[in-house]
Amino acid sequence: MNLISKSRPASLCCAVLLTLAAAQSAHAAESASFPSIVVDDVKTVFTAPAKWESADWQTAGWATLAVVGTAVIADRPARDFWCQQSKMSSCPSAGTNAEVTNAPLTTIENFGQTYALGVMGGFYLAGLATDNEKSVLVAEDLVAASLSSALVNQSIKVVANRSRPRDNVGNNNFVGYTGLNNNSSFPSGHTTEAFTLASVIATHYEETWVSVLSYSMAGLVGAARMYHDAHFASDVVASAFIGTYIGKAVVKHNHNLRGNKIVLLPMFGSDMSGVQLIGKF
């Protein structure tokens, strides 16, 4: 878009001032601190429902129906199955001295917690070491999405306050808000984190094997949480939806932020002067 004026002196002065202001703004945008990006991502995630359209609400409705259906149909048989595998002492059919012996699942479970930090750090360090900007951006999105999903996850936990399977009080015991209790079963923090990481990575890389590996690992984290009698199947399904949605939303939002740049350039001619607006949207 061109803003053109016949008054050369005034337009020239305006063009120079606008160009300097634009240059300063562009520099500020490019050098924006990562904490400010994270804050913006968190705000975007929490305010997203206010901007949803009918298709988004329909998707949310189907996801909710899937979680409720899982709770009604699969929670109890799924717990029975995993209790048969793990023999956890909290399981009704297990002995009082039962031990968890599945080391691989115990290790995989950490990808929803401590190992997640290693994944984020790995992408960042790899990006710095190889001068790979994409890897650094993936690391930034992983951190922002993880923080956002953790806040959403904990907020739901506090409101729902669902008893864990190991409490042996059934799968319908939602106590509701009783304070800042983070020991609620619904949803699973480990699983939410795992699917958040998986969706960020899978969204950045188009290769099929990346998506398969990422989401498979996230699914195993959910299985490990049920194996340890820490969560019902419906907790895991809800967490998968939450983590996947937030991961994809953060990547999309940050991609738009990084792509939206506006530059104002002066225009001069024999009989006119003005400003040229160039933008990438």
Q: Is 28 part of any domain?
A: no
14 is a domain residue? no
In a domain, 17, yes or no: no
Give me the residue label for tokens 């001068």.
131
pLDDT over 60 (residue 196): yes
Q: How confident is the model at residue 20 (pLDDT cuts 50, 70, 90)?
A: very low
What is the C-alpha to C-alpha distance for residues 165 and 202, in angstroms, rounded to an integer?
31
Residue 99 CA to residue 205 CA, distance in Å, equals: 40
DSSP letter at 111? G
- Distance, in Å, from the CA atom of 188 to the CA atom of 192, rounded to the nearest integer, reads 6
| Mean pLDDT across 45-70 | 94
Rounded average pLDDT over 50-68: 95
In a domain, 11, yes or no: no
State the alpha helices, DSSP H only, in the chain.
Answer: 8-30, 34-47, 54-73, 75-86, 103-109, 114-130, 133-160, 189-204, 208-227, 233-259
Computed over every residue of the chain, the mean pLDDT equals 81
Range of the domain at 223: 34-271
d(C-alpha 163, C-alpha 171), whole Å: 7
Sheet containing strand 273-280, strands side by side: 2-5, 273-280, 261-268
Q: What is the mean pLDDT of residues 212-219?
A: 96
Query: 112 in helix, strand or coil?
Result: helix
Distance of CA 86 to the CA centre of its chain: 30
Q: Which of 197, 187, 190 is nearest to 234 (CA)?
A: 187
Residue 16 placed within a domain: no
Q: How far apart are CA 149 and CA 247, in angstroms?
A: 8
On whether residue 10 sits in a domain, the answer given is no
CA dist., res. 281 & res. 279, Å (int): 6
Band of pLDDT at residue 27, cut at 50, 70 and 90:
very low
pLDDT at residue number 237: 97
Provide the number of structural domains found in the chain.
1
User: What is the pLDDT averaged over residues 35-46?
Assistant: 89
- Residue 68, pLDDT score: 96
Q: Is residue 187 part of a domain?
A: yes
What is the tens place of the pLDDT at every residue in 71-128?
999 999 999 999 888 888 888 876 655 555 667 888 889 899 889 999 999 999 999 9
Q: CA–CA separation, 26 vs 238, rounded Å? A: 40
Model-wide pTM > 0.85: no
Q: Tens digits of per-residue pLDDT, 227-273?
A: 999 999 999 999 999 999 999 999 999 988 877 554 444 444 555 55
Residue 99 vs residues 90, 164, 190, 229: alpha-carbon distances, Å: 10, 18, 21, 12
State the pLDDT at residue 190: 95
Nearest CA-CA partner of 227 in 57, 90, 125: 90
Chain Cα centroid distance, residue 22: 32
Any domain includes 196: yes
| Tokens linked to 120 | 């984020």
